[in-house]
Amino acid sequence: MEIAERQTSRAAGWSRRTGGFSAVLLLSVLIGHRYDLVETPAFLWVLAIVALLAALALLFAGFAFSRLWNFGDRGGRELAVGALLALLVLAPYGVVAYRATTYPPLSDISTDLDDPPALAATRTGDMNMLSPPTPGEQRLQTETYPLVTGRSYNLPFNNVLQAVETVIGRRDWQLAVPFPDASGQSEVTIDALAKSFVLSLPADVAIRVTDDRDAVIVDMRSASRYGRYDLGDNAARIVDFLAELDQEVAGQVGTAPAE
């Protein structure tokens, strides 16, 4: 009586290869985009391809598992490696999907909803269009991000502007133009390009410093260039910056800022 020789599952091998390729491609495009070797539109397309490859690796793993279970094929180790790599690659996508369901569909956040600071950067056709917030968007921002509020300091205009420059200098932001000279001016807007921490997605930032004689007002705007959802990134950028500005003003002048 002959015993049939166990076959090696081809699907298990394809699962390992596809999962490994998706992981390498994901790391490569993340590094390339962070160092400006890959443009953002191409980066987003590659992310979509990576997700499809990882899902395909899981399908191969599922088919291979059914072969191992029903016919006793070899390839359990390759199946496990492929499935593990695919799950690791897809995990960040799951986090993004979850955050997209918990954060509102906003990509342009400002401390002044009626008169947002103007952004100097030019938007191309593949970027988000800049437009005044609708009443619904204003309500969403107010309800979701109550800490996104401007600042009012009872201090000299130049002192506040110096504090703004100091806080910007601590961040890896690219100024659109050199920091402006405040001599003889009562309003200055600083424009910069900021990037998100993990994906390095670009956002245009504008910080407006206004002397209205009674106080110096600081308003800030952060608008993502791509994507309908910013996943809270712009609001967090504004809140963190203005909280640090409060500390900088208090440290430089020795007077606590007035909200």
Residue 214 maps to a domain: yes
For residue 234, give both structure tokens. 């712009």
Distance CA(71)–CA(88), nearest Å, equals: 28
| 81-134 pLDDT tens trace | 999 999 999 999 999 999 999 999 999 999 999 999 999 888 998 999 998 999
- 182 pLDDT more than 80: no
Total of domains in the chain: 2
Residue 218 maps to which CATH number?
3.30.310.80
Mean pLDDT of 184-201: 92
Residue 4 maps to a domain: no
Q: Is residue 195 within a helix (H) or strand (E), and if so which, with residue range?
A: strand 187-195
| 16-34 pLDDT tens trace | 999 999 999 999 999 999 9
Residue 227 maps to a domain: yes
Residue 1 maps to a domain: no
Residue whose tokens read 């690219």 = 174
- 2 pLDDT more than 50: no
| 208-226 pLDDT tens trace | 999 988 899 999 999 999 9
Considering the chain, what percentage of its residues have pLDDT values greater than 70? 95
Which has more pLDDT, 55 or 6?
55
Angstrom CA distances, 112 to 42, 130, 148, 227, stand at 33, 15, 9, 22
Residue 2 maps to a domain: no
Residue whose tokens read 């961040």 = 171
Residues 61 and 181 in one domain: no
Residue 217 maps to a domain: yes
Residues 126 and 238 in one domain: yes
Domain extent for 42: 10-102
The predicted model scores a pTM of 0.87
Residue 233 maps to a domain: yes
